[in-house]
Amino acid sequence: MTIQFNEETFRDDYTFKNSDWAIQRFPFPFHEDSYMYSVNMEQHRGGPEGSIYEKRFDVDEHYVAEMRDRAMVLADDPLRCQSLPHMTLAGWDLLELIMVSKSEDYPDLFELHRDGDQWRWVNKPLGIDDTFTFLDETTLPYGPMEYITRQAQGDFCVLDQRDDNLWMDAGTVTTQADWSLDFDIGMNFFEWHAPVPLAHEKGIFVRALKFLLNIQQGSPARRLNWTMTVNPLLDTSPENYHKWGIQKTTITPDNIGQKQHLRVELQTFFRLPRSNALVFPIRCYLCNFDDMMTMPKWGRRLHRVIRDLPEELATYKGFIDNRPMMLDYLAKFDDGLPTSPGIWPDKDSEPPLQA
């Protein structure tokens, strides 16, 4: 296999780590030295070779460990995967999309063999080799959406489109940034975004919904979102806040570089063919401050973004109490030099940190 998968954990002893390759391709979410909510949508039609944008569904060194963590979450709380009865066909659409994409984009890792409705799926990293009848749930160990999302990094929300709105009527959500599928299931686009500050007043969600309703099959879109997480936790759900919320108090000036992580979501949107549903994958990437500071451009920019972020957003993203300590750490990596536009580190052209 071309990718070396890490043996690591996202809980308890937190042995998660990023290789140099993973750091270089980390989706740093700030294209300039300030941040404010925007629709920030673009077409999801590939990207630079080796980047997270290159393939339709990115597979990286964390794949096997993330799938192991998902299985543990679902064993503890099966309601993290739900599908309302009318969404079964959309689940089959999603299964087809992921299987076709992965087998075409990573032929050394995944195989899909189709003979009419008789399909054989081979997932080499997870040791899966299954034959089933497409559109026949009885031939799979789980429903189609759950079956395939147990084998795909990131969360998946499957949205029904009706009444000029999008409704969260199915999903597998185990790596979320403090929101609950069990609470949001059946809600429409505006209802599940209700807690977000500032964006409603700016009309962000009205424009975003208009864009999403018009996504066509074969023309997926993408955007980046971000927050902060203490320790490399995938499961920061409200159901488990009593376990992870207290960890915010463990940050000190001595350990902040290792424990404080920027949590970035690559959010993509695909129109599904039979059901006309919209699938909303939310892929989580984690990088600690120490690793990010190996990229001088990111060090300069992250300090400026966190320093100037409106208080409402720092509160909503959950790091308002730790912001002073973050800024004390980040200030050491901001020498005031200008930064190049765009999210990529530009390490070969960006000047090194000046003493």
Cβ pair 70, 174 in contact under 8 A: yes
Contact status, residue 223 vs residue 264, Cβ threshold 8 Å: no
Mean pLDDT over 297-313 rounds to 97
Share of the chain above pLDDT 90, in %: 94
∠ CA(119), CA(122), CA(124), 5° rounding?
A: 175
pLDDT band at 1 (very low <50, low <70, confident <90, very high): low
Q: What is the pLDDT of residue 230?
A: 98
The per-residue pLDDT for 40 is: 87
Mean pLDDT of 13-42: 95
Q: How high is the pLDDT of residue 196?
A: 81
Q: How far apart are the first and last CA of the chain?
A: 43
When pLDDT is cut at 50, 70 and 90, the band that residue 304 belongs to is very high
Catalytic residues: 223
Number of helical (H) and strand (E) elements in the chain, helices listed first: 13, 10
Coil/strand/helix, residue 160: strand
Q: Write out the two tokens for 184.
A: 């949001």
Among the ranges given (33-42, 55-64, 110-119, 259-268), the one the predictor scored with the smallest mean pLDDT? 33-42
DSSP 87: G
Cα distance between residue 256 and residue 318, in whole Å: 15
Handedness of CA 40, 161, 178, 96 (dihedral sign): negative
Assess contact for 231 and 277: CB atoms under 8 A: no
Residue 275 phi, psi (nearest 5)? -85, -20
Average of pLDDT values for 22-37? 96
Write down the mean pLDDT value for the chain. Answer: 96
Q: Is the confidence at residue 157, as pLDDT, over 90?
A: yes
Q: What is the band of 110 on the pLDDT scale with cuts at 50, 70, 90?
A: very high
Cα distances (angstroms) measured from residue 250 to each of 125, 230, 233, 245, 323: 35, 8, 14, 10, 14
**Residue 51: predicted pLDDT:** 97
Contact of 260 with 236, CB cutoff 8 Å: no
Q: How far apart are CA 231 and CA 31, in angstroms?
A: 25
Indicate the domain borders of the chain. 20-83+156-331
Buried b / exposed e over 178-215, threshold 16 CB at 10 Å, is: beebeebbebbbeebbeeeeebeeeebbeebbeebeeb
DSSP-based three-state secondary structure for 136: coil
Task: Give pLDDT, residue 296.
Answer: 98
